[in-house]
Amino acid sequence: MTNSSSSTKHGQDQPELSGPTPKSQRTKMGKSEDNDKKNLGKKLKDVEISIPIVYGNVAFWLGKKASEYQSHKWTVYVRGATNEDLGTIIKHAVFQLHSSFNNPTRVVESPPFELSESGWGEFEVSITLYFHSDVCDKPLNLYHHLKLYPEDENSSMSTKKPVVVEFYDEIVFPDPSEAFLARVQNHPAVNLPRLPAGLTLPPSIPVEDASKRRKGDTKDHSLSQWFMNFSEADELLQLAAARQQVQAHIAKLRRQISLIDGQHQQFKSSSDL
């Protein structure tokens, strides 16, 4: 099994993922254009909403049923890091497969956002996430190298134990709309890592009935026993973000102290004249 953790905070222009890496990173969603801001409603300054996600694949060798061109059954997916329903954030997902597949562009309109196929070769899968209108007007592109064979060449393939490759990421939405925050602030798939002092949160919209939400979560998914636990990675990223904020605050205080010291020295020099 392979895992990696990173965090995606979308850039100002076209959002991109920096690529799978074990280091903690954040890519910020691009801010909406002026025309789109009218549709999104009031923006909340200095607020961030983050969505921990996991993307990857699970691949089973077909054993005696394998043929030259059908050796593995695999599923590629994007799921909530804690297996919560992502449908409240993501409107639909587009999976771009290798051109050798029939209809290589597959659109998944509702959660869980996954695609199952069979084949023999490994290739890069492009996953484009489109968000609801009050979330963000720019899509997010993810790239995942479909893995069918074990990393260890000496490992024997098994029909019972799959090859699992997953990557942890965190999508961060800066300055969200008030409507977006009101809709998701109590949703279990959503994190609010940073709220400015004195901010009055908008009235929350009740989270949909749990039985309805469970239709889109992956807690009881047929592959859930093979999913990796990324709760520790989530905690580490939150600690790293908090540490960065503290360091920035310390640097600001040092600049203020330096400025005060400089003014004090000027005042002292003037007094000595």
User: What total number of domains does the chain contain?
Assistant: 1
Alpha-helix runs per DSSP H in the chain: 34-40, 178-184, 210-213, 231-272
Phi, psi angle pair for 118, to nearest 5°: -135, 155
pLDDT of residue 194: 62
**pLDDT for position 7:** 47
Q: Tell me, what's the pLDDT at 189?
A: 87
Q: In this predicted structure, what is the pLDDT of residue 79?
A: 94
* Domain assignment of residue 244, yes or no: no
What pLDDT, on the 0 to 100 scale, is given for residue 211?
A: 52
Q: What is the pLDDT of residue 21?
A: 37
CA 121 to chain centroid, in Å, comes to 27
Whether 240 is covered by a domain: the verdict is: no
| Structural domain contains residue 235 | no
Give the pLDDT score at 82.
87
pTM for the full predicted model? 0.72
- When computed from its CA atoms, the radius of gyration of the chain, rounded to whole angstroms, is 23
- Residues sharing a CB contact under 8 Å with residue 36, sequence separation 6 or more, in sequence order: 137
Would residue 267 count as lying in a domain? no
Mean pLDDT by 10 residues, the chain (273 residues): 52 34 50 54 84 94 94 96 92 98 97 96 98 94 96 83 92 91 88 71 63 68 79 62 74 84 72 63
Pairing of strands 48-61, 191-194: antiparallel
Rounded to whole angstroms, how far apart are CA atoms 134 and 117?
33
- Which of 195, 125, 150 minimizes the C-alpha distance to 115? 125
Q: What CATH number is attached to the domain comprising 48?
A: 2.60.40.1970
Q: Could you give the C-alpha distances from 123 to 4, 18, 94, 97, 235, in angstroms and in order?
A: 19, 18, 16, 8, 32
Within a domain: residue 268? Answer: no
User: Is residue 158, in this structure, part of any structural domain at all?
Assistant: yes
- SS3 (DSSP) at 254: helix
What count of other Cβ atoms lies within 10 Å of the Cβ of residue 62? 15
In this structure, is residue 136 part of a structural domain? Answer: yes
What integer pLDDT is reported at residue 212 of this predicted model?
Answer: 52
Q: Is residue 236 part of a domain?
A: no
Distance of CA 168 to the CA centre of its chain: 7
C-alpha 183/C-alpha 169 separation (Å) is 22
Q: 250 and 257 in contact (C-beta within 8 Å)?
A: no
CA dist list (Å): 165 to 17, 96, 247: 17, 18, 34
Q: How far apart are CA 123 and CA 127, in angstroms?
A: 13
Domain span at residue 83 reads 2-229
